[in-house]
Amino acid sequence: MSEGWPDFWIRGKKIDLIDLIDEINTIHTIETVNSITSISTLDTINTINTVNTIDTINKIRDVTLSEERRRDAIKNGFFNQALTGWYVDYVEIQDTQDPYFAVGYDAVLTSKDSNLVQYLIPFMRKDEVYSLQIRCKGAAAGNLYVMFIEPSGASSSHSLSITDSYATYTVSIPCDVVAGIWIYPAGTSIIPCRIKFISAPLKTKVYQAEKNRTITDITKVSTIKSFDVSASGSGNNAIWTPASGKAIRLKLVQYESDADVEVGLRFGDSGELFARRITKGVMALNLVGCNVQGSADEALNLYVGGAVNVKGFVLGEEI
């Protein structure tokens, strides 16, 4: 602030009412604000302890110590006006100059002391992301440093050679678990350095509850066996006889019966009935992953309890 300004403008202890402020460049500390009617622009606020009422704020360009951002992480690749998730020093948000993006913002490193720092909660795991990707350009060719911080406090730094044109750079994750990321210029040669986005694309992963659980037959090609049985009385009707020494494993069953008699499938002549109906209608049963199968050399039979016509098919394989 200029000389001659009262002390309360320099460090605000308590402000009862502010009707209109067009622009405040920097406020270091405000302990209590009871009411703010309108603020057009705030460039930087380091700390606010208590705010009772705010009617309108048009734009906050940078909030450096937000508790919400302390809990945040990389959520999308593009910087918004608040640099979501990042602690910043000597970094400005400016409209993008990237020719591939018509709108949006760049994080601009404006000094050799510029920093972009993010603490990752939850931690970022190397086996869950492909890599760190940074789209940026410098005022001239030079180096940008990317430091990965582990939960133990250990760190490793990667030097990224960038040019004076926008490009997307891939940085391999050097450690199994990343607790924080720190990005800063190697020197003044690339200043100002414009960063369009920083992202960490997730891998597609499938987790299983038990370490020994496997499904091995979903992608195998199945054989289709159609059948059309016109029975005059009860008994077994073979619909699939496997090759010698083979057993039948079923994947799917579908049939329709036209009479109110018992109908079902069984392996062999006296096996337990399954896919069973006792009235006319449709039966459809998905058995993928269930490993419903007979014994070697055991035929798959359609059992009927009386006169009935049954049409359908099964999918399966001989194993």
pLDDT tens per residue across span 45-55:
666 666 666 66
pLDDT at 66: 40
Average pLDDT over the chain reads 81
At 82, the pLDDT band (50, 70, 90 cuts) reads low
As a 3-state breakdown, the chain gives helix, strand, coil percent values, each rounded to 5, of 5, 50, 45
Helices (H) and strands (E) in the chain, counts: 2, 21
Q: Higher pLDDT residue, 128 or 216?
A: 128
Highest-confidence segment of 8-22, 193-207, 248-262: 248-262
Calpha distance 195→219 (Å, rounded): 44
pLDDT at 218: 52
Q: Higher pLDDT residue, 223 or 61?
A: 223
Q: Which long-range contacts (CB under 8 A, 24 or more apart) does 200-204 make?
A: 200/74, 200/124, 200/129, 200/130, 200/131, 200/132, 200/133, 201/129, 201/130, 201/131, 201/133, 202/128, 202/129, 202/130, 203/127, 203/128, 203/129, 203/130
Calpha distance 31→293 (Å, rounded): 74
pLDDT at 10: 43
Q: Is residue 147 scored above 70 in pLDDT?
A: yes
Going along the chain from its start, the domains and CATH numbers come out as 14-61 (no CATH), 67-199 (2.60.120.260), 223-318 (2.60.120)
Q: Is residue 43 scored above 80 in pLDDT?
A: no
Q: What is the pTM of this model?
A: 0.45
